[in-house]
């Protein structure tokens, strides 16, 4: 028995999701019971839901292995990134999502895992003996990434301000709060948690695991297997 759950209000999306599941002789469980005894394997929801980002964070905290997929009806790139930063495994347009999910359902049916592949990327070092910017990955397969040192910790963030897309790497770093201030309009973020401390940006920053090995800085990203 597969554990697929959807929190979807759009009738057309519901219909297409049901159709894809039925074509694989699978089905969605009743979403009214969130207190599942076993962790769900796939959760589908809509990014337009006002609590979508908080719900993603909660689901991933409770069930880290669960594959969380979100549909979007309007292109809002920063909300899209915020959903991925919160842990969503797939964000796709409403029309494309059922077909993309079918591939995942098929993997489950075959007994395969939906866990993503981890990729380690080497950062270009930035000369800095103190806290602040120590590495950059301008050409990562994702968006550019900046790495900051704060005490003994390395913290990597998506180097794109959620307000208007400018680079944060050259902004002002505050070693006391571990925050970076966007050089364009002053949004501020904590670099180790990605938390938005001040607008005008509306969303937090995506963060990545980072580590130092043999004097090189490495950042880990996840990609579909
Ligand atoms: S681009 Fe960063 S605050 Fe506007």
For residue 88 the two structure tokens come to 């969503």
Q: Are 151 and 198 within one domain? A: yes
Tell me how crowded residue 3 is: count the other CB atoms within 10 A of its CB.
Answer: 17
Domain final position from 115, 146, 180 = 115
* Residue 12 buriedness (CB in 10 A; 0-12 / 13-18 / 19+): exposed
**CATH number of the domain where residue 133 is located:** 2.102.10.10
pLDDT, tens digit (0-9, with 9 covering 90-100), for 138-166:
988 878 999 999 999 999 999 999 888 89
Domain final position from 80, 115, 150 = 115
Residue ranges of the chain whose pLDDT lies below 70: 33-37, 225
For residue 92 the two structure tokens come to 């796709």
Q: Are 109 and 124 within one domain? A: no
**Structure confidence at residue 184 (pLDDT):** 93
Q: Give the atom of ligand 1 at the shortest distance from the alpha carbon of 185.
A: 3
Q: What is the C-alpha to C-alpha distance for residues 178 and 22, in angstroms, rounded to an integer?
A: 50
| Residue 161 CB–ligand 1 contact under 6 Å | yes
**Structure confidence at residue 35 (pLDDT):** 59
Domain final position from 73, 92, 115 = 115
**Structure confidence at residue 168 (pLDDT):** 95
Q: What is the C-alpha to C-alpha distance for residues 95 and 101, in angstroms, rounded to an integer?
A: 11
**CATH number of the domain where residue 107 is located:** 3.40.50.2300
Q: Give the atom of ligand 1 at the shortest distance from the alpha carbon of 187.
A: 3
pLDDT, tens digit (0-9, with 9 covering 90-100), for 48-65:
888 898 899 889 888 888
Q: What is the C-alpha to C-alpha distance for residues 170 and 183, in angstroms, rounded to an integer?
A: 7
For residue 34 the two structure tokens come to 């969130």
| Residue 48 CB–ligand 1 contact under 6 Å | no
| Domain that includes residue 155, residue range | 119-223
Q: Give the atom of ligand 1 at the shortest distance from the alpha carbon of 164.
A: 1
Q: Domains in the chain: how many in total?
A: 2
Q: Are 171 and 219 within one domain? A: yes
Nearest C-alpha neighbor of 95 from the set 28, 20, 168, 148:
20
């Amino acid at each position: 028995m597969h554990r697929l759950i959807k929190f979807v209000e759009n009738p057309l999306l519901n219909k297409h999701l049901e159709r894809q599941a039925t074509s694989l002789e699978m089905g969605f469980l009743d979403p009214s019971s969130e207190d599942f005894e076993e962790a769900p394997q796939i959760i589908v929801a809509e990014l337009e839901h006002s609590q979508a980002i908080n719900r993603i964070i909660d689901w991933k905290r409770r069930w880290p292995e669960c594959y969380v997929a979100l549909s979007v009806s309007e292109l809002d790139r920063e909300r899209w990134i915020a959903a991925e930063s919160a842990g969503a495994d797939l964000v796709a347009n409403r029309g494309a999502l059922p077909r993309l999910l079918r591939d995942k359902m098929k993997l489950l049916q075959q007994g395969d895992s939906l866990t993503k592949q981890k990729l380690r990327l080497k950062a270009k070092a930035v000369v800095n003996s103190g806290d602040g910017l120590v590495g950059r990955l301008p050409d990562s397969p994702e968006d550019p990434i900046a790495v900051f040192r704060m005490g003994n910790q390395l913290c990597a963030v998506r180097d794109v301000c959620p307000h208007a897309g400018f680079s944060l790497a050259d902004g002002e770093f505050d070693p006391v709060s571990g925050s970076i201030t966007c050089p364009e309009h002053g949004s501020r973020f904590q670099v180790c948690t990605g938390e938005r401390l001040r607008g005008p940006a509306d969303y937090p920053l995506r963060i990545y695991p980072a580590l130092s090995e043999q004097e090189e800085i490495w950042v880990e990203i996840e990609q579909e297997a």
